[in-house]
Amino acid sequence: AVGDIMWFVTNQQVQAGDEMCLSYLEHDVLCESASRRTHMLGRDFAEVDDANVEGDQGPDLPVVDAEVQNELMATDPIQRLEDLKLLMGQAMGLARPQDEEPLESIAEEGEPQGPDLP
């Protein structure tokens, strides 16, 4: 996909307006028997009841809304990667937003400083 354009490889002719089902299986698995495909689908995709989930599920990452996504798509690809790296660092608590002081300048003498960022 590039921006809001996406290309598809299909196993049959598709006309405008036809409904399509996207498979999360690799092409080589799609060529296997129906029982093998069913086995592969059952292996990775299980429904989980959120009320019964225990333990840490990892960090809560921000959702990139359409406005931010459009803004990112309008930037140079190299700059976009840098921006995404910064946003992920902020989401993971490894970096502060650009309008805030860096961790090193906030720490007082004798206190441990934040992680070194590239």
Residue 108 tokens, joined: 């007082």
Q: Which DSSP helix (H) or strand (E) runs through 83?
A: helix 77-91
pLDDT of residue 97: 64
pLDDT of residue 67: 84
pLDDT of residue 111: 46
Within-domain flag for 9? no
Cα(56)–Cα(32) distance, integer angstroms: 36
pLDDT of residue 10: 80
Q: Give the domain extent around 82.
A: 66-97
93: left (phi > 0), else alpha (psi -120 to 50), else beta?
left
Within-domain flag for 26? no
Helices and strands: H and E segment counts in the chain:
5, 0
**Distance between start and end Cα atoms, the chain:** 29
Within-domain flag for 15? no
Number of folded domains in the chain? 1
Within-domain flag for 76? yes
Radius of gyration of the chain from its Cα atoms, rounded to whole angstroms = 22
pLDDT of residue 4: 72
Within-domain flag for 92? yes
Within-domain flag for 83? yes
Within-domain flag for 75? yes
pLDDT of residue 112: 46
pTM of the model: 0.34
Within-domain flag for 36? no
Cα(7)–Cα(2) distance, integer angstroms: 9
Residue-by-residue pLDDT tens, the chain, 118 positions: 667 777 777 878 889 899 887 766 666 666 777 787 777 777 765 555 555 555 556 556 666 778 888 888 888 888 888 888 888 787 777 766 665 554 444 444 444 444 455 5
